Amino acid sequence: MKKVRLGGWMGLLCALALVLALSTGALAAPVALTSVGQSPDAMMVKVLLKKAGLDSDYEATMKASQLSKEHKVLVAVVGGSMKGLGAAGINKEQERDRVKDLLGAARSKGVKVLVMHVGGKGRRGELTDFLMGVAFPAADAAMVVKGGNDDGLVDKLVPKGVKVQQVETIQAVSDPLKAKLAAWGVK
């Protein structure tokens, strides 16, 4: 009969525990990140978070069931793209419903919601405006790149008491984003 070293078993058990933790979300990042409208803007925010040394659980079509107790903040990045919606196999109404469910789950789980529009004036349009009307009313904080709120739409949509933070460019988002997350306990 072959002898099995205890160290080998311990290594195997540790590896299995890690796999189990990852699959159940036990090691989730404190920031959940999703797109609202399926534009590439959320991916740009993911890169900015990474540069700032912050991990995020990014899922372009995140569902309410994917929010875990480890998530302290949900960052919802609004930017409508018909091409992106098509690639995801959904229409604007399905996206609206997904986002409403996700934001409702965040509220019920005590997860702070930061809604962002980083596409500026160039990413505004009928689809983006439609989705802004879904996301910004659920915001605990709002951040937009200059030009994205020239008409004051975001100011009208956010809840009373939520100040819209404007930044000059997408590159200038990093510091205010990091500061807002730190204020909510994400470092």
Residue 173 to residue 71: CA distance in whole angstroms: 21
Q: How high is the pLDDT of residue 91?
A: 96
Q: What is the helix (H) or strand (E) element at residue 143, kind and residue range?
A: strand 141-145
Residue 186 to residue 65: CA distance in whole angstroms: 21
What residues does each domain of the chain span?
27-183
Q: How high is the pLDDT of residue 187?
A: 86
Q: How high is the pLDDT of residue 13?
A: 32
User: Quick one: what percent of the chain has pLDDT higher than 70?
Assistant: 86
Q: How far is CA 44 from CA 23, 117, 135, 137, in A?
A: 26, 11, 18, 23
Contact by Cβ (8 Å): 77, 119: no
Structure tokens given for 61: 């079509």
| pLDDT class of 21 with cuts at 50, 70, 90 | very low
Burial class (CB in 10 A: 0-12, 13-18, 19+), 7: exposed
Q: How high is the pLDDT of residue 4?
A: 42
Name which CATH class applies to 27-183. alpha beta
Structure tokens given for 146: 């200059």
Q: Lowest mean pLDDT: which of 1-10, 96-105, 135-144, 152-161?
A: 1-10
Q: How high is the pLDDT of residue 28?
A: 76
**Which of 180, 185, 171, 163 has its CA nearest to residue 51?**
171
pLDDT digits (tens, 9 = 90+) for 169-181: 999 999 999 999 9
The order of strands in the sheet holding 141-145 is 57-58, 31-36, 73-78, 112-117, 141-145, 164-167
Give pTM, 2 decimals: 0.85
Mean pLDDT of all residues in the chain? 88
| pLDDT class of 18 with cuts at 50, 70, 90 | very low
